Structure 1
Amino acid sequence: MELKKGYERKINKNFTIYIAKDNKEELNEILDFNVKIHGPPVKEYLSRILLKHPRIEELLFLYIRDNFSNDIVSGIALFPLDWHFDDLLIPVCEMGFVGTLPEYRGKKLMAHLFETYEKAMRERGIILSVIRGIPYFYRKYNYEFALPLDNRIYLSPTQVPTEDVSDLTIRRANEGDIELISRLYHDYYDDFFIRNKLSTEEFKFRYFNEDYNDFKLVTYMIEKNGEAETYFSFGMSHDNLAYSLIVPRLTVKHMIKILQFIKEIDNSNNSEMLYLHLREDIDFGKFVMSLGGNPYQDYGWQVKIPNLKPFFQSIKTILEHRIKKSIYKGLTKSVRISNYQETIELFFKNGEISEIKTEKGYPAERSCDLQVPGPMIYKLLLADKNFDEINHIVKDAMVKLPSKQLVNILFPKKTSYPDTYY
């Protein structure tokens, strides 16, 4: 594997690109650089990843030095994730800690880092890159908002039910609770299309902490008569303006207990509202809405699929299963899908994909069953939006009328709950 720790390549006489070796001196330089870019609060966050993350051997820190000053002037990180797409496990990576010193911006250094990052993805068979980054900037690198990430609901403390749930108690989770947490996690999250693979060590890294803030959470157990019934993970949103909640399937009584717990914590702030980082389309979010809660903000994962052919090869069995369960069972036909820069042709034979071909360039008129411009196609491929919703936003999303039902079967809208362990 060419792009590994210790890699270096001279870009020109002024700059050289590196992949960190993980030695102490180098990592301290990376840490100091990121504090300059992102501010002092990032120091604890990044230090924790550098020292304690269970997958530290797989993490890549890419950076560029000024050859004359020897200073780090630009950098990004590649963090591996494993996401389930239905029953398939797809290798994904999260881009993090992106930045360039102000005096070095406009020199296309980030373009060199992104190119190297995507080459490292290809070498590792990683299909998808995601980032929780600032708005708009990443569009220039063909990223698109395509998966849910950060949803907010506010609720008046007076709307929290006062029902007596004192027979339930809350305590911190411990190692002995992992088996129950795992079972409850799978019971709930396995119903989502895209979701994080439950990795015990990574789960503990992010969710089993002594205290909480915007990047680490505490997991609690809810007990009755000394027997654990369920769990919830609690922390702060990335901007420290809302309480983050990660929950499995809960009873109404459990949800009331959690809301009373949050209200008690928030009492010291004398807040007029409880602000929750909580999905409105999950059971707990729906319950909060039923109490009078209001959604007020949402944000998304920004996603890039650098190479569509490997992506389609990865989800081949998902597409075949959708065909098998539809009126198109036994389909023998080629289906052409274009983003106006590249066309993917899926050859179905008796309901199975026998071949996948690609063509570069603008498609010939009326040659495709489906056309969705640029990265907007990710919204369809990742089940974030259906075709009609995308067409409402961009009118050059087009489908042949005879193919529309088939397209809707191949690419339905589904609910996802992607997450990170960083």
Structure 2
Amino acid sequence: MTSIVLTNDTRDLGDGLVLRWSTPEDTDALAELAGAVFRDDGDEQPNQVLMDVVRRHMRGDHPLLGPTDYVVVEDTTADRKRFVACACYQQEEWTYDGVSLPVGRPEIVAADPEHRRRGLVRKIFGVIHDRCARDGKLVQSITGIPYFYRQFGYEYAVDLGGTLSFPVSLLPEAKAGETLPYRLRKATREDVPALIACYQQGQRGSLVSSRLAEKYWSYNIDAENDPDPRRGYARVRIIESVDGEFRGLAVTQGSGAHFRVSLLEFAAGTNLAGMRPSLLRGLVELAGQQLPNAPDTEPLGRLVFELGRDHPFYPMIPAEYGPRLDPPYAWYVRVPDLPAVLRRIAPVLERRLADSAMAGYGGDLLLDFYRSSVRLTFTDGRLTDARDEGPTDRQDKSPRASFPPLVFLRSLFGHASLEELRAGYPDVGADGTAGPLVNALFPKRPSRLFAP
């Protein structure tokens, strides 16, 4: 199919298919496509949760996107409005060791089974990537099915998820007349400053973090009290003492068997062991509170904390509860202009260099990706240039670190050390002073990157 670019980002793809950005009038057709695609079996009922998510996206009050932020492919030959493929475009912000990184995030990627293997998703991603470039989004990210998004220039580079869970049947019952020292309550808009401060404090050890601004917290707080019963929001809870003192926050998703804790942070100086009985019972009680407009679900069997590879609360779960740790998946990350990102995080790189055995380094570091390369130039420990150089000259004697295409993103985002990459990829290497430079500039660092 040939693509003819029309006005206003509309493209005629041939065979009656038209690609364009969404409008508010597209809500029902978008929800119908998402509900049909995101189900395990074609004979099942449409996925009502995904339909609710799409309808919330399209209302105009969501903190990350609005009714004109889906790319759709419409079948104009149908007797009613019908979409055969779509993806949304969320505008987010990460921090990289304290430096802001603007992020464009495609999600809700759907294609009608009868229209797959025709390149529609590739065309949609091309439009989203063009939009990211116009909007100055230096990084793109997505949570997606295995392998698929590699073909669009994405690489697994940051931990996604990772859980600790245990059977709630092993949780001791409360003693008669027992008063617990902590409780959960619904957050209000007045709590937002405390929520932001507590979240930011909890993210200090994370290399990459999502910036959750006031709009994120207010939106989810308001959504739970909204007369519109649609799902697709998170429940925000304040953890407080019986005297009303703020001691932390919990963000949860779902109810019953689908309940999980996706964010859990504590005020400084909190005794987590002393809080554990109150918090666990409060979360089990919250899991039993059915969400509006949700079908009956099985009761909670395992309490799931989806808080990453590790978390300060994990050691508080005693061995007799039979806790099970499941490793994380990973975020796909795309960096179309690597020199621009390296220049953006120059303060971080310079600080790392100053704290290493390579302090005050002057000279180049060549990042060789075999078919392309990036040259970093340092003067007295300061990054003075980062530029693309195309294929490298093998006679160039600059310190050289070599990576297969995209693999370097795992080093950039702290997902793997140079030694770990060498063990997994025989074509990763570093000569001379390149090894100490890469280890100093791009150390392995954990990230607990929350997906808003």
Query: TM-score, length-normalised on structure 2?
Result: 0.82
In structure 1, give the amino acid aligned to 2:317. V
Deviations 1:292-320 (A, max 9, x none): 52203422211111221222222122112
Q: Where in structure 2 are there 5+ consecutive unaligned residues?
A: 39-45, 290-297
Aligned residues of 1:155 and 1:293 also touching (Cα < 8 A): yes
Give the conservation status (yes or no) of the 8 Å contact 1:168–1:223: yes
TM-superposition CA deviations, 1:45-96 (whole Å, max 9, x none): 1111211303445962112234544742222111000111122111002111
Note closer, same or farther for the CA distance 1:222–1:114 as it changes in structure 2 (3 Å cut): closer
1:167 aligns with 2:168: no
Match of 1:419, SS state, is: coil
Q: Distance in 1 between matches of 2:120 and 2:200?
A: 42
SS at match of 2:106: strand
Q: Within the alignment, does 1:216 sit opposite 2:233 as a pair?
A: yes
Evaluate the alpha carbon distance shift between residue 264 and residue 97 of structure 1 in structure 2; reply closer, same or farther with a 3 A threshold. Answer: closer
Alignment-mate amino acid for residue 231 of structure 1: G
- How has the CA–CA distance of structure 1 residues 289 and 195 changed in structure 2, closer, same or farther, with 3 Å as cutoff? farther
Matched, 1:380 2:411: yes
Hey, what does 1:49 align to over in structure 2? 57
Deviation at 1:348, TM superposition (A): 0.7
**Equivalent in the alignment of 2:247:** 230
Q: Which secondary structure state, in structure 1, belongs to the residue aligned with residue 161 of structure 2?
A: strand
- Whole-angstrom CA distance in 1 between matches of 2:66 and 2:20: 16
Change (3 A) 1:273 1:98: closer
What is the alpha-carbon distance in structure 2 between the residues aligned to residue 376 and residue 328 of structure 1?
24
Single out whichever of 342-351 and 249-258 deviates more from structure 2: 249-258
Residue 109 of structure 1 and its aligned partner are, at CA, apart by 1.6
| Larger displacement relative to structure 2 (51-60 or 97-106) | 51-60
Return the match for 1:97 from 108, 113, 117.
Answer: 108
Q: Contact (CA 8 Å) 1:34, 1:99: kept in 2 or not?
A: yes
Structure 1 counterpart of 2:18: 16
Query: Hey, what's the Cα distance between the residues in 2 that align with 1:284 and 1:213?
Result: 31
CA distance in 1 between partners of 2:254 and 2:400 (Å): 42
In structure 2, the partner of 1:125 is 136
Partner residue, 2:338: 308
Q: Deviations over 1:210-232 (max 9, x none)?
A: 38998422222233243232233
Write out aligned runs for 1:311-326 (5 A). Answer: 311-326=341-356
Which residue does 2:434 correspond to in 1? 403
> In 1, are the aligned partners of 2:52 and 2:232 still within 8 Å (CA)?
no
Distance 2:447 2:221 in 1: 20
> 1:121 Cα shift?
0.9
- With over 3 angstroms needed to count, the CA separation of the structure-2 counterparts of 1:334 and 1:12, relative to structure 1, is farther
Range with bigger deviation, 186-195 or 328-337: 186-195
Which residue number corresponds to residue 148 of structure 1? 159
Q: How does 1:15-414 map to 2 (within 5 A)?
A: 15-20=17-22, 22=23, 24-38=24-38, 39-41=46-48, 42-51=50-59, 52-56=61-65, 60-69=69-78, 71-157=82-168, 160=171, 166-206=180-220, 209-210=223-224, 215-236=232-253, 241=258, 243-249=260-266, 250-252=270-272, 253-264=274-285, 273-288=302-317, 292-361=322-391, 364=394, 369-414=400-445
Q: Distance in 2 between matches of 1:110 and 1:122?
A: 18
Could you tell me which residue of structure 1 aligns to residue 9 of structure 2? 7
Go from structure 1 to structure 2 and tell me whether the alpha carbon gap of 1:63 and 1:273 turns closer, same or farther (over 3 Å shift).
Answer: closer
**Aligned CA distance change for structure 1 residues 111 and 280 (closer, same or farther; 3 Å):** closer
Q: CA deviation at 1:14?
A: 4.7
Aligned partner of residue 121 in structure 1, secondary structure: helix
Task: Check the 8 A contact 2:94/2:101 in 1, yes or no.
Answer: yes
CA contact (8 A) 1:337 1:371 kept: yes
What is the deviation of 1:43?
0.9
Q: In 1, are the aligned partners of 2:181 and 2:275 still within 8 Å (CA)?
A: no
The CA RMSD measured in Å over matched residues stands at: 3.1
TM-score, normalised to structure 1, is: 0.88
2:295 aligns with none
SS of the equivalent of 2:163 reads strand
Q: State the alpha-carbon separation in 2 of the partners of residues 224 and 238 from structure 1.
A: 24
- Provide closer, same or farther for how the CA distance between residues 227 and 122 of structure 1 changes in structure 2, counting only shifts above 3 A: same
- In structure 2, relative to structure 1, the CA distance for the partners of 1:19 and 1:35 (3 Å cut) is same
1:261-320 deviations in Å (ceiling 9; x for gaps): 234456896766433323241101232376652203422211111221222222122112
1:375 aligns to what SS in structure 2? coil
TM-aligned CA distance change 1:297 to 1:88, over 3 Å: closer
Equivalents in 1 of 2:105, 2:126: separation in Å? 15
| Letter in structure 1 aligned against 2:234 | L
8 Å Cα contact 2:307-2:448 kept in structure 1: no
Q: CA deviation at 1:126?
A: 0.4
Query: How big is the shift at 1:143?
Result: 1.8
Cα distance change, pair 359–413 in 1 and its aligned pair in 2 (3 A): same
Distance 1:101 1:263, change over 3 A: closer
Note the residue ranges of structure 1 that are not aligned, 5 or more in a row: none
- Matched residue SS, 1:374: coil
Q: Is the 8 A contact 2:164 2:323 kept in 1?
A: yes
CA distance in 2, matches of 1:300, 1:96: 15
- Secondary structure of 1:216's aligned partner: coil
Q: How far apart, CA to CA, are the structure 1 residues paired with 2:427 and 2:160?
A: 27
The SS at the match of 1:247 is: strand
May I ask how many residue pairs the two structures share in their alignment? 416
CA contact (8 A) 2:57 2:66 kept: no
**Contact kept? 1:59, 1:80, Cα under 8 Å:** no
Deviation of residue 6 (structure 1)?
4.7
